[in-house]
Structure 1
Amino acid sequence: MSGGHRLGRLARAVRLVVLTIGAAVMLAPFIWGLAASFKPAAEIWSGSLRLLPESFHGWENYTAAFNRAPLGRFLVNGVIVCGGILIFQLIFAIPCAYALSKHRFAGRTVIFGAVLIGLLIPIHVTAIPLYLGFARLGLLNTYAALIAPFAISVFGIFLFRQFFAAIPDDLIAAARVDGFSEWAIIWRVVVPASWPAITAFAIFSVTSHWNDLFWPFIVIQSTDLAPPALGVVYFRRDESGVDFGPMMAATVIVTAPLVVAFLLAQRRFIDGITLSGVKG
């Protein structure tokens, strides 16, 4: 075996070890939370590092989670809010990204620069003006207050612009020769060719807003409208932070849909992220 081959195998082994350690560190809180959801309170607070429960208490914890908080309602609210946000984001971001990637017009570079600047502005900066605006319109404590601020995603525009730039111009030209309008090209040519990018963006969007606590905590006062992250806060408030097993069970329940969705879409997600950087 040559020296170069040995060094290559050693480098791969080191990368594998580093990635394994990093994955273990990232997954440790989730694994511990899942294990705690199957344990009685006394065992959780015993200080033991055992993952497997000595006394299985999963049925009691998960039953208590559903009985003591409207978790089903929280999940439905999460689907409504995340689905509404994603639909509006796609409706606005796809045409904007298509125009920036496939059309030449005055100010295109300036507009794209504004999109990049928008990536640097977090929701916390605009939270107070948005809150005051919704308060004046009487829209606090509504689905509109949860959806409207995120209807336009500059990250979505940037991601789709990068992906659309890799679509051959000849394909767009052929569609124009066939008599397609620009809107028809977008929805009948570009979108079907862009499902990896759409899937990747959908995972980013849904994960971000499903886990969002900051904005819902400001604009929502009713338990009936609480999305999953805020719902868990209400659950903790009801439990006063004492019954930790059911609280961990509730956290597992609201996290599970995201894990399942990612596992089902991971191939398209990876393709979307990879191909979006092919051509700038």
Structure 2
Amino acid sequence: MPERDTPWLRDLPRLGLLALLGLLLLLPYLWMVSASLKPAEEIFSASLSLWPKTFAAARNYGAVFERLPVLHYLWNGVIVCGGILAFQLLFAIPAGYALAKLEFRGREVLFGAVMLGLLVPPHVPALPLFAGFSALGLLDSYTALIAPSTISVFAIFLFRQFFKALPDELIHAARLDGMGEMAIVWRVILPNAWPAATAFAIFSVVAHWNDLFWPLIVVNGPQHATPALGVLFFRTSEGDDDIGMLMAAAVIMTAPLVLAFLLAQRRFVEGIATTGLKG
């Protein structure tokens, strides 16, 4: 009798390794959720247990919503991350298309400049940007939070690599139909670039939702505070000595990211898998 093919048995070691690595990556978040459910004395007990012996969730989360304008900070995060992402896509998609599909003098030099831009850390232009926004009177505003991140060299690189894999015949057909280059970008290229756009959107939103460096520099109070800065304000004003409340605030501020990733994970994986490294 022929032996049945069981491919899942061959994949079992690989899946087991991936599951173990995934669990290791999740452990800090699981500990944070666990600590948000415990009283302070249990968090610092000698025994380590993720499951709380005494549930203090009502106290910890209730204190956060009572003392912190949670919805206001979350709304600020939506405005800032949404504004940054919209401008990044507006600039990066046409730039990536031009570097991938248009022939013009200096194209490779410009692409080299994009690659060099990937090497510049965000801390380098922070001081001149702060001085410029201060001179314009734009500190502690949405403009100061959004404007420095509107152009992403990583997004240009990502879309350029994705567009290189698209067939040239698709663009030639659109040109034969009389479409201009910008019409091709938004009506032909963009509908085929949703996997890459979704993947980049996850990267962008996570990076700027969790960013503390730049908001800490330009924001002076809670009115324009982002979620990460809101947790810091809570720590310095109310939650210094209560780790349970601080972890509850952190869980609340990071929960939208987890939910967004779970909803978009298929597109995210598809975008990463289909964004090749074609030169």
* TM interval, short-chain normalised: over 0.9
* In 2, Cα distance between equivalents of 1:242 and 1:126: 35
For the residue of structure 1 that corresponds to 2:125, the secondary structure is helix
* In 1, Cα distance between equivalents of 2:126 and 2:173: 45
Are 2:69 and 1:70 aligned?
yes
* In 2, Cα distance between equivalents of 1:68 and 1:180: 56
What's the TM-score once normalised by structure 2's chain length?
A: 0.94
Which region of structure 1 is more displaced relative to structure 2, 234-243 or 245-254?
A: 234-243
Are 2:230 and 1:231 aligned?
yes
Match of 1:247 in 2: 246
Match of 1:25 in 2: 24
Which string of whole-angstrom CA distances, capped at 9 and with x for unpartnered residues, describes residues 113-160 of structure 1? Answer: 000000111111111111111111111111111000000000000000
- Runs of 4+ that moved beyond 6 A: none
* In 2, Cα distance between equivalents of 1:37 and 1:240: 12
Which string of whole-angstrom CA distances, capped at 9 and with x for unpartnered residues, describes residues 41-99 of structure 1? Answer: 22112232111111111111111111111111110000000000000001100111111
Match of 2:268 in 1: 269
For the residue of structure 2 that corresponds to 1:234, the secondary structure is helix
Structure 2, unaligned stretches of length 5 or more?
none
Query: Given that residues 239 and 246 in structure 2 are in contact (C-alpha distance below 8 angstroms), is that contact kept between their aligned partners in structure 1?
Result: no
* In 2, Cα distance between equivalents of 1:89 and 1:47: 48
Are 2:240 and 1:257 aligned?
no
For the residue of structure 2 that corresponds to 1:124, the secondary structure is coil
* In 1, Cα distance between equivalents of 2:20 and 2:180: 52
* In 2, Cα distance between equivalents of 1:19 and 1:267: 17
Which string of whole-angstrom CA distances, capped at 9 and with x for unpartnered residues, describes residues 99-118 of structure 1? Answer: 11110000000000000000
What's the TM-score once normalised by structure 1's chain length?
A: 0.93
Structure 1, unaligned stretches of length 5 or more?
none
C-alpha RMSD over aligned residues: 1.7
* In 2, Cα distance between equivalents of 1:119 and 1:47: 45
* In 2, Cα distance between equivalents of 1:53 and 1:276: 43
Would you say how many aligned residue pairs link Structure 1 and Structure 2?
Answer: 274
Q: Please show how residues 172-211 of structure 1 align to structure 2 within 5 Å.
A: 172-211=171-210
